[in-house]
Structure 1
């Protein structure tokens, strides 16, 4: 009779990320460690994007045959999962050292953005659920820990961390898009923004888009002194603070 209490079998890719796959006892000795293979994959991705990371390309970077690489990772899907885990790294201590939940989440958002700036290709990896690899879980833990002394329920803490993570990811996605446009055009980012505003000025009429027309006329879209994303994160956290209320102290509160 089947054991209904048995947990699901751990996929090999996840086991590799956790270091629980034993080294093979037979076969030729490996020339590289798995970490060295992943370092080579990260270098390819940093240079030419996620599409450049193929099994033959990584093998060539290491001086291996494509078939030899399968002794380290069994598929491209496994390679990409481990690549994302390597690129994510561990969360910085600044998150846990921050004073108060708000400062902790601000540090969390800043650190998340820094990861995407270092490795823009990570924005091209599809999110299909909560990643079950150690570094990804360490980031999730850091976000939840920032909220540990609040009265938010466990479900509410998860929701807040996901919102802050999503904000950081969207910011990085937009910033990368503008940066890529500027590079392709050989212009400064400010020039791209100004050209965009001028084009909109030709297309947006007051009768059809009255609010957008007024916004363009005010210069709001080209005001470099105002950071839309900093403002958005601040208002998001204001909303959380208002929801929590004034009863939060420095000591842990019971979890609802």
Structure 2
């Protein structure tokens, strides 16, 4: 279900919550609430049921408190989504030492982000081109940029290179999530679908009329056992992006330089 973004987060309130510069304390005798508890509960609901239908009332019911009590801590759904997003960003592992140079470091970044989307598929719906400027996002962004610092790229190119790698992870996991959702809706796996429709395609897709499509489609379906394999697409795309960056890095380094 698409996310309704007509309600925009208030910048001052959102930043204060993200950075925890001001948080109400639970009143004596009142419900044991905190921003962290509310956010973790909302994340659990979104992981289990998706984020499209997530409401403040739903979260308050899961907490066993009145909705108005929760508004004291989190003023609205827009701010809650910001908090949820930055919180799960904090799950990404940031190991200080990664052997294998910049390429291995970027591979780790891509795989860690894909794993994050796998754990929290709703993040694919929530993320936009306007980043949530919380502490976990900034720590993650800083770490990921350091993977390609001092390899010859300009600051703007570093940002673009990182975006390419992150887009590969997001695209692959979005395709995988779509396939999982389709399986739930139809009760049929992609492999089962291909077994049912493959013979019909072979009947109509005449090799002499569509020679390249017939040859390539047959090879791909035999290799993957289905029409599309997001894992293969992820690995192939990631290596090609890294190959392209390697060309730029080598050009900047010049002849006789050591790879970074």
Report TM bin, short chain: 0.7 to 0.9
2:18/2:86 contact within 8 Å kept = yes
Whole-angstrom distance in 1 between the partners of 2:83 and 2:126: 12
TM-superposed CA distance for 1:91, in Å, is 2.6
Alignment partner of 1:23: what SS?
coil
Question: In the alignment, which residue of structure 2 is the partner of 1:244?
Answer: 249
Question: In the alignment, which residue of structure 2 is the partner of 1:220?
Answer: 220
Call closer, same or farther: CA 1:75–1:202 in 2, change over 3 Å: farther
Off by >6 Å, runs of 4+ in structure 1: 24-28
Q: TM-score normalized by structure 2?
A: 0.81
Question: In the alignment, which residue of structure 1 is the partner of 2:35?
Answer: 34
Question: In the alignment, which residue of structure 2 is the partner of 1:19?
Answer: 20
Whole-angstrom distance in 2 between the partners of 1:176 and 1:27: 44
TM-superposed CA distance for 1:232, in Å, is 1.2
Whole-angstrom distance in 1 between the partners of 2:66 and 2:192: 46
1:168 matches 2:169: yes
Whole-angstrom distance in 2 between the partners of 1:187 and 1:113: 24
The alignment of Structure 1 onto Structure 2 pairs a total of residues equal to 242
1:193/1:222 contact within 8 Å kept = no
Call closer, same or farther: CA 1:179–1:24 in 2, change over 3 Å: closer
Question: In the alignment, which residue of structure 2 is the partner of 1:55?
Answer: 56
Whole-angstrom distance in 1 between the partners of 2:175 and 2:187: 18
Call closer, same or farther: CA 1:224–1:206 in 2, change over 3 Å: closer
Question: In the alignment, which residue of structure 1 is the partner of 2:140?
Answer: 139
Q: Which moved more, 1:111-120 or 1:175-184?
A: 175-184
Question: In the alignment, which residue of structure 1 is the partner of 2:4?
Answer: none
2:24/2:73 contact within 8 Å kept = no
Call closer, same or farther: CA 1:35–1:195 in 2, change over 3 Å: farther
Call closer, same or farther: CA 1:117–1:202 in 2, change over 3 Å: farther
1:168-187 equivalences in 2 (<5 Å): 168-187=169-188
Q: TM-score normalized by structure 1?
A: 0.82
TM-superposed CA distance for 1:179, in Å, is 1.7
Whole-angstrom distance in 1 between the partners of 2:53 and 2:104: 37
Question: In the alignment, which residue of structure 1 is the partner of 2:5?
Answer: none
Q: Which moved more, 1:15-24 or 1:112-121?
A: 15-24
Whole-angstrom distance in 1 between the partners of 2:148 and 2:240: 17
1:55/1:76 contact within 8 Å kept = yes
Computed over aligned residues only, the root mean square deviation of the Cα atoms, in angstroms, reads: 2.8
Alignment partner of 2:118: what SS?
helix
Alignment partner of 2:78: what SS?
helix
> Which segments of 5 or more consecutive residues in structure 2 lack a partner in the other structure?
1-9
> Which segments of 5 or more consecutive residues in structure 1 lack a partner in the other structure?
1-8, 252-256
Q: Which moved more, 1:192-201 or 1:72-81?
A: 192-201
Question: In the alignment, which residue of structure 2 is the partner of 1:112?
Answer: 113
Question: In the alignment, which residue of structure 2 is the partner of 1:97?
Answer: 98
TM-superposed CA distance for 1:206, in Å, is 5.3
